[in-house]
Structure 1
Amino acid sequence: MTNTTEKYSPEQVLEIFKEQHRLCSSLDPEADPWAEIKAEMTIREWRWARDLLGWKELSEFLNKEFRIEIPENVWYDKLEPAKKRKLIEVCTLIANHAKKDNYQPKKLFGQPCLKASVFLTIKKNLENKGINVSELRPSSSLTEYMDKYFSPVLEEITLTGTKPIDKIEILRIRKKGFWKIFNFLDWENSELLIGDIKTFRDLVEKIIIEKEKNKA
């Protein structure tokens, strides 16, 4: 696969945090769906808006999410004291270390295919996060994978820098609490709704459309 990587900008990282808040805050009763995620908000304000854990657990999560290895002491300096440190500092730190996928068309039956490149990259990234992707195909149900692996799947979608999902809704959810880093849910007796995107093929097509819009 002829996929390459490039750097994020701090502004692009901030947009990822905004999108994650937009999609997930309404799923967590401890989060604030009305909060505005902005560069100059404090880390404490960000954590309250997203219902995030303390600096150590948060730093471990961000390392895993962005596929980076920033030392604990460096994270501490950017996340504490939480009432003084700004979110833009975290965005800048991540931007200095993380790399985003820059999809190049993969040859399929002798023809360049951007869809294949996007799909295979997402599949590879999910596998690297410990997800069993042996049965994952373009025709696979996105909802079923999000039911099982909500956080890593949503991470990989938002890390593309696009906004392919209009809204995420949960029906018939049993209120037994939430994991506080990325709104991990107890999916038993619940139904996940993600709009008109049914399969990974639908997701890939929407990501490509969104990327073309961003170039315009």
Structure 2
Amino acid sequence: MTTKYYPIEILQIIQANYKQQQQYDDIVLKDQELTFETTILEWRDICDLVDTSKLWKYLNYYFRMTADEEAWMNILEPEDEKTLGDLCNFIAILAEKEIIRPIKLFGNYCTTAAIFKSLKGRLKNRGIDVPDLKPSSQLAPLVKKYNSVFIEEINQIDPMVLPPINYKTNWVYKWGLRSFITFLFLTILLICIKSNWAWYKGGVFLIGYGMTWLGGILKPKQASFRDIHTVADLVRRIKVNNPHYNAV
């Protein structure tokens, strides 16, 4: 069973994704405000998003929509004029929002079971292996393994439920990024003054780039949420935040 989103709900999902992204993505701009008035260009710049020619495909996929490229481009372009308000209105009209209702379990209606079932179904649709997912499953290993995909699906169920993620990168990524940035500027400087050392610094810069790429593939050192340790903790918090889910 589904219903329609309100535009504010779409904006809240976008804001929630950004709130988490700025904790684990060093490229995004920190502590910015995303509103209905934010332009698509500003949003892409803040969140380090792909070009609109690719972004529409992701949005189609994420919100389970089937709009064609022309329809999306009319909403996303020109990106210095179109706003998140335009985008949220468009998605709210076409996207379907799942209605979570208690399901009967051992003769009684259970809201937490319905929320768990919804979460499991969403993760499965995103290609996450869920057969062994249980309410007792620890959340941190799941977030470490699936990162933004896992978080984004939670945010669609309840964009207010997750506190900012406690995220620490692995040492490969951390030192790779430092080397990449430091030696990038040194290489540019040495090229400008025509120094032969530029080639050596450039080599270290490439090593730093490689470490950053590899570190991005490896699991982070830490990825957890304060006071939410298991899937059951998460489901219970979603239930508390959404009393309307209790309606049979």
* TM-score for both structures, normalised by structure 2: 0.77
SS at match of 1:159: helix
Q: Which of residues 18, 23, 31 is equivalent to 1:21?
A: 18
RMSD: 2.1
1:213 & 1:98 partners in 2: Cα distance? 20
The ranges of structure 1 where at least 4 consecutive aligned residues each deviate by more than 6 angstroms after the TM superposition are none
Q: Which of 90, 113, 121 lines up with 1:93 in the alignment?
A: 90
Residue identity opposite 1:204 in structure 2: V
**The structure with more helix, counted as a fraction of residues:** 2
Deviation by residue 1:69-112 (Cα, 9 ceiling, x = unmatched): 11111111111111111111111111111112221111111000
Q: What's the TM-score once normalised by structure 1's chain length? A: 0.88
SS at match of 1:107: strand
Structure 1, gaps ≥5 residues long? 178-184
Number of the residue aligned with 1:200? 231
Which residue in 1 is equivalent to 2:141? 144
CA deviation after TM superposition for structure 1 residue 151, in Å: 2.3
The structure with the larger Rg is 2
Q: Give runs of aligned pairs for residues 50-89 of structure 1, distance below 5 A.
A: 50-89=47-86
Structure 1 CA distance, aligned partners of 2:228 and 2:94? Answer: 32
Is the CA contact 1:147–1:187 (under 8 Å) kept in the aligned structure 2? no
Q: Which of 3, 6, 30 is the equivalent residue of 2:3? A: 6
Q: After TM superposition, give the deviation of residue 149 of structure 1 in Å.
A: 1.4
Over the matched positions of the two proteins, sequence identity in percent amounts to 32
CA distance in structure 1 between the partners assigned to 2:245 and 2:25 by the alignment: 30
Q: Partners of 1:64 and 1:150 in 2: how far apart?
A: 17
Does the 8 Å contact 2:101/2:114 carry over to 1?
Answer: yes
The gaps in structure 2 that reach 5 residues or longer are 178-215
Distance 1:30 1:202, change over 3 A: same
Matched pairs, number: 206
User: In structure 2, how many angstroms separate the alpha carbons of the residues matched to 1:161 and 1:134?
Assistant: 23
Residue 142 of structure 1 deviates from its aligned partner by 1.6
Partner SS for 2:82? coil
Shift in CA distance, 206/120, structure 1 to aligned 2, threshold 3 Å:
same
